[in-house]
Homo-oligomer: A and B are copies of this chain.
Amino acid sequence: MLSKRVKYAIKTLLFLYENGDGKPISAKIISENEKIPYKFLENILRELRQNKILKSVRGAEGGYKFLKDPNEITVAEIIRIVDGPIALIPCVSFYFYEKCEDCTDEISCKIRKLFVQLRNEMLPILNKSITDLEKL
């Protein structure tokens, strides 16, 4: 399962996409509209900014807007930033690979083969962008 952070992050990006008209949108507005706990949302927004998905404007009338083109922000990317791997087992992950301690031969491992297949099926769906998502 994904964490709430990821779901909140995606909701936030969708909200910004649907309501962003040039002016930045404050965490308070997002929090109230999407029912995300304010302080928790701040953390998530910081993470998105640090990863160059969003940019922030400080001070009164400040808030957040896209830094990266929403057309190029994928759900997979958000999951990787917020939660980590897409793959269901670590030895199958591209970005967060880890060797299985108990595994003697990774190449012949039947379980690995299955989860490679699974990841390969999952990726095209998760590679949809925020703008794709809005059209669903």
Contacts and interface: CB of A to CB of B under 8 A. Distances in A.
Interface of A: 1-2, 7-8, 10-11, 14, 34-36, 75, 84-85, 87-90, 100-102, 110-111, 113-114, 117-118, 121-122, 125-126, 128, 133-134, 136
Residue with the highest number of chain B CB atoms closer than 10 Å, among A84, A113, A126: A126
A102 B134 contact: no
A118 B122 contact: yes
Contacts of A114: 75, 125, 128, 133, 136
What copy number does this chain have within its complex? Answer: 2
Nearest to A93: B1
A34 B11 CA distance: 42
A108 B17 CA distance: 16
A131 to B, nearest CB: 11
